[in-house]
Copies of this chain bind each other. A is one copy, B any other.
Amino acid sequence: MNGIKPTLLAEYEKEIIRQSGSPVMYKKGSIIFRPGDAADKVYLIEQGWVKIFRLTMEGRQVTVGSIRHPGELMGLAEVLYRGERTCHAGAISEVTLIAVRKDDFHEMLLGEPQLAIKIAKLLAARMREAESSIHELVSRNVPGRLASILLRMAQRCGEPTDNGIRINLNLTHEELAGMIGASRQTVTSLISQLREEKSISVKGRQIRIIDPKKLSGWTV
């Protein structure tokens, strides 16, 4: 069960981290850290989803990392590289974290070379994700980017049901827009279009991927 999902930690790796850290909880909507904060902690996500984003000059959110899941580390880059946060981290849902202090984290890595390598692998995987994002932003149009992110979310945190894959992140159109670099209005109208052509269905803020094939037809 190791080496299969290099973006996630193995159970024994999490155990090491749990022993060096202490649990914290954040409720939905709260901010875990913001730019300028001292990056003195690394977090292991135990439960819930966290959104990593920055703000544009006009105050719009731009999701620069993806949504982080249980089993993932977050706040890693700033702790390793520079002492200051550059992003916001916001709790999308009720969230439980293990917080590890920077110094303890460094010691942990020195004592567990395997873990240090795992962290490097993990960052490498994220690096490639980021490169993909850049590639998509540059080469696809807005409908293509929307379709693509819906498919990716379905794959990464969707729950299969009898009528399609349910995405339960409760994202608003504005948040989706921030993830693909588009305006809120455009996302709204595209979602309607996708619903009409029956490639997705929408109930409240739950999106179901009904016809992945038709959806991926947009990612020309």
Contacts and interface: CB of A to CB of B under 8 A. Distances in A.
Contact of A121 (B56, B80, B114, B134): B80
How many copies of this kind of chain does the complex include? 2
Given A116-B116, A120-B120, A123-B124, A139 B56 contact: yes
A125 interface: yes
A63 to B, nearest CB: 9
Contacts of A134: 62, 64, 130, 133-134, 137
B135 A80 contact: no
Contact of A131 (B65, B113, B117, B220): B65
A128 interface: yes
Nearest to A81: B124
A110 interface: yes
Interface residues of A, number: 44
B117 A6 contact: no
A16 interface: no
A86 interface: yes
> What are the 9 A-B residue pairs with the smallest beta carbon separation, nearest first?
A138-B181, A130-B130, A123-B123, A80-B124, A77-B124, A56-B139, A116-B116, A81-B124, A64-B131
Interface of A: 6, 54, 56-57, 60, 62, 64-65, 76-78, 80-82, 86-87, 106, 109-110, 113-114, 116-117, 119-121, 123-128, 130-135, 137-139, 178, 181, 220
24 contacts: A6-B81, A54-B135, A56-B135, A60-B139, A62-B139, A77-B124, A80-B120, A80-B121, A81-B121, A81-B124, A81-B128, A82-B128, A87-B131, A109-B120, A110-B113, A110-B114, A110-B117, A113-B116, A123-B123, A123-B124, A127-B130, A137-B138, A137-B181, A139-B181
